[in-house]
């Protein structure tokens, strides 16, 4: 099916967020199209894996939107490069708001799909955003849990010191999400598969985008460390839930988080698909595992949207 892409902007707490709206063939002539909000990973943007899934789902007949988080990419917001969980969750609600203004979208058939940290944010948003009728995650990760591993207290102490410095006039500390190169990773003694493949995805032509510059406002990580994407899922997450993970495990822990979410979610209709032989980043863009994921998501959204 032919897909038409439109660059759009929508409101989010006084900011304009930049999105790509994907329209299936003849979608605007119909009046009751199902729609899906696609949420990108931490450090990512609308032009990468979330956009890939958005396009593939549009080919199946869904109106889809992928967008840059507030303060990141082509979206508005100062200070730049912050990762703010509350804002990320609100961005999803605002994307739903936007979809409800389109006269060819059925407001009762809106779903969400999140990749990596976007999966955790999608789950968190759906708990209180009842207009979301079906929740899908691909290698969904609880970004708070990821960042609490290691020495979070030491990190928080450092954030406090940096805020004091910046309050007194020091420059904003902009750090990196991942090492800038494989050589830098090797020098740091990091061997984990997720970090290795993240560098390959984000810093090479494979997935590189100017809207995903590997920049992170260091002090914003305090909010991330205190965030639990799955808090209250046993009480509030009742929508149908499809979880997709790969069985090749790495430091980001999406395999572990996927199973935890499956076990805890209150959803009566829930399923977890483990893609054999697939790593976290294989499910970002590699044709075979992505094809398996899309096929599963197609049947899921067809049943529940």
Gap between the Cα atoms of 224 and 196, Å rounded? 23
Q: Which residues contact 219 (CB under 8 A, 6 or more apart)?
A: 159, 162, 163, 166, 172, 173
Task: Give the pLDDT score at 70.
Answer: 98
Half-sphere CA count of 255, side-chain side, radius 13 A: 15
pLDDT digits (tens, 9 = 90+) for 115-164: 999 999 999 999 999 999 999 999 999 999 999 998 999 999 999 999 99
pLDDT digits (tens, 9 = 90+) for 50-59: 999 999 999 9
Q: Give first-to-last CA distance, the chain, whole Å.
A: 19
Which pair of structure tokens corresponds to residue 65?
């939107």
Gap between the Cα atoms of 116 and 112, Å rounded? 13
* Residue of 40, 305, 61, 67 lying closest to 177 (CA atoms): 40
Beta bridge partners of 6: 21
Q: Given CA atoms 189, 191, 194, 199 in this order, what sign does their dihedral have?
A: positive
What's the Cα-to-Cα distance from 105 to each of 52, 65, 94, 294, rounded to whole Å? 21, 12, 15, 21
Half-sphere CA count of 294, side-chain side, radius 13 A: 22
- Percent of the chain past pLDDT 70, that is, above it, reads 100
pLDDT digits (tens, 9 = 90+) for 177-209: 999 999 999 999 999 999 999 999 999 999 999
Q: How many helices (H) and strands (E) in the chain?
A: 12, 10
When the pLDDT of each residue in the chain is averaged and rounded to a whole number, the result is 97
Task: Give the pLDDT score at 28.
Answer: 85
pLDDT digits (tens, 9 = 90+) for 61-72: 999 999 999 999
pTM: 0.97
E-only strand ranges, the chain: 3-12, 15-24, 33-39, 63-67, 105-115, 132-138, 174-175, 216-217, 241-246, 270-275
Per-residue pLDDT for 170 more than 90?
Answer: yes
What's the Cα-to-Cα distance from 41 to each of 64, 71, 91, 138, 281, rounded to whole Å? 17, 14, 13, 10, 11
Bond prior to 122 in cis (omega within 30° of 0): no
């Amino acid at each position: 099916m032919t897909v038409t892409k439109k660059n759009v902007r929508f409101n989010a707490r006084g900011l304009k967020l930049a999105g790509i709206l994907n329209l299936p063939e003849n979608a605007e002539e119909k009046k009751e199209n199902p729609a899906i909000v696609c949420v990108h990973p931490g450090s990512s943007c609308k032009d990468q894996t979330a956009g890939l899934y958005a396009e593939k789902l549009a080919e199946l007949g869904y109106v889809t939107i992928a967008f840059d988080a507030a303060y990141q990419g082509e979206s508005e917001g100062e200070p730049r490069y912050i990762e703010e969980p509350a804002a990320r969750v609100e961005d999803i609600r605002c994307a739903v708001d936007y979809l409800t203004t389109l006269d060819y979208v059925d407001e009762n058939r809106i779903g969400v799909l999140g990749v990596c940290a976007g999966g955790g944010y999608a789950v968190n948003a759906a708990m209180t955003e009842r207009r979301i009728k079906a929740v899908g995650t691909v290698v969904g990760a609880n970004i708070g849990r990821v960042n609490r591993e290691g020495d979070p207290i030491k990190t928080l102490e450092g954030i406090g010191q940096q805020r004091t410095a910046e309050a007194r006039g020091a420059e904003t500390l902009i750090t990196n999400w991942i090492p800038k190169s494989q050589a830098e990773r090797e020098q740091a003694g990091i061997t984990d598969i997720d970090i290795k493949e993240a560098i390959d995805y984000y810093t090479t032509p494979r997935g590189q985008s100017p809207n995903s510059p590997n920049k992170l406002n260091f002090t914003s990580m305090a909010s991330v460390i205190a965030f639990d994407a799955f808090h209250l899922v046993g009480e509030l997450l009742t929508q149908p839930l499809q979880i997709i993970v790969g069985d090749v495990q790495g430091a980001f822990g999406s395999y572990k988080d996927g199973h935890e979410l499956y076990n805890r979610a209150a959803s009566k209709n829930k399923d977890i698909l483990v893609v054999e032989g697939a790593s976290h980043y294989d499910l970002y863009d590699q044709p075979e595992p992505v094809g398996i994921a899309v096929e599963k998501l197609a049947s899921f959204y067809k049943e529940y949207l």
